[in-house]
Structure 1
Amino acid sequence: MKVNLDGIHTNLRFSAAHMVIGHKSCGKIHGHSYIVDVEVEGERSGQFGFVIDFKVLKDITRKICKTLDHRVLIPIESPDLEVTYEDDKTIEFTLLGDCEYKLPKSDVVLLPIPSTTAESLSIYITEKIVEALPDTSTLDYIEVQVNEGIGQGASYHKTL
């Protein structure tokens, strides 16, 4: 049986700035109002016969969205990005060897991903949800879709 969270109706969203390093138009810092949809399939179990408790899944996903909300998303596994300085207050980084940025660290989220595309963000959010779930033994898969706006997004399907 499948259960779904429709991000636009369950308020699973975040707004963030990012760049797709090296891309002709998306390589500049710009932002999106992201919407996150989640689908889980598994066996009904427990006292209430849930596949998964909606409240638990929403709370986990909202917490992840909150960590990304109103931040600049930086993909630290990008081969085209080098963090040149970092302390408690500031982060400095260089893109493609020549474009330098200096930002307040409180405005930045350093993500262990190669890019901040919807594709990479869907993998990142999926993995964070799975890490936070108390039990996945009755679940078959989870799929997370990250939408950069209504009508366009990317999804990642993880077998559990």
Structure 2
Amino acid sequence: MMQQIYPVGPHSFAYELNKDFHFAAAHYIPHEDAGKCQKIHGHTYFTNITIVGDELDHTGFLVNFKTIKDLVHKRFDHETLNQDQAFSDDKADQFPTTEVVARTIYEIVQQYLDSLPNHPICLQVYLRETPTSYCIYRPKRKDRI
């Protein structure tokens, strides 16, 4: 994977952790306005997850890199996203678009982080669907889980 610096907004946390990984998945967008994307097709998604916090855990980690990757990779790699419980063919805000997949990854990661005693926060999820198309999901402060 090529090293890349991702845009991150300013923050006042002591630590910022970034985890890069990729996963392969198929999907389709169940709407007539989606054009060719209505048909099932696949991508190799490249993901960067940014986590921030002020306290390290008992092992000296903000959060374990492997755990962050496993939360997403084990769930979505070599799957059809439309079949996952997080997505729906009936509601546009639950179609597995790049935007919705990025938001869903945030929700999965933040739910795990909420269980940790050192209270790290997922600041953003960067999701590249193709070499020329990507999305960044940053929850509004009031919307953080």
TM range (shorter): 0.5 to 0.7
1:65 matches 2:73: yes
Q: Aligned residue for 2:43?
A: 32
CA separation in 1, counterparts of 2:58 and 2:71?
A: 26
CA separation in 2, counterparts of 1:67 and 1:45?
A: 26
Change (3 A) 1:80 1:3: closer
TM superposition outliers: structure 1 runs of 4+ over 6 Å: none
CA separation in 1, counterparts of 2:71 and 2:121?
A: 23
Aligned length: 121
CA separation in 1, counterparts of 2:122 and 2:75?
A: 24
For the 8 Å contact 1:33–1:148, the answer to whether it is kept is: yes
- Name the amino acid aligned to 1:157: R
Instruction: Report the secondary structure of 1:121's partner residue.
Output: helix
Larger Rg: 1
For the 8 Å contact 1:13–1:62, the answer to whether it is kept is: no
TM-score (norm 2): 0.68
**Matched residues, percent identical?**
24
For the 8 Å contact 1:36–1:145, the answer to whether it is kept is: yes
CA separation in 2, counterparts of 1:18 and 1:46?
A: 37
- How big is the alpha-carbon RMSD for the aligned residues of Structure 1 and Structure 2? 2.7
Task: Return 5+ residue gaps in structure 2 as ranges.
Answer: 1-13
Task: Return 5+ residue gaps in structure 1 as ranges.
Answer: 82-112
Higher helix share: 2
Change (3 A) 1:136 1:126: farther
For the 8 Å contact 1:143–1:157, the answer to whether it is kept is: yes
Higher strand share: 1
1:1-160 maps to which residues of 2 (within 5 A)? 1=14, 2-5=16-19, 7=20, 12-22=21-31, 23-46=34-57, 50=61, 52-53=62-63, 56-74=64-82, 76-79=87-90, 114-133=94-113, 134-135=115-116, 138-139=119-120, 141-158=122-139, 159=141, 160=144
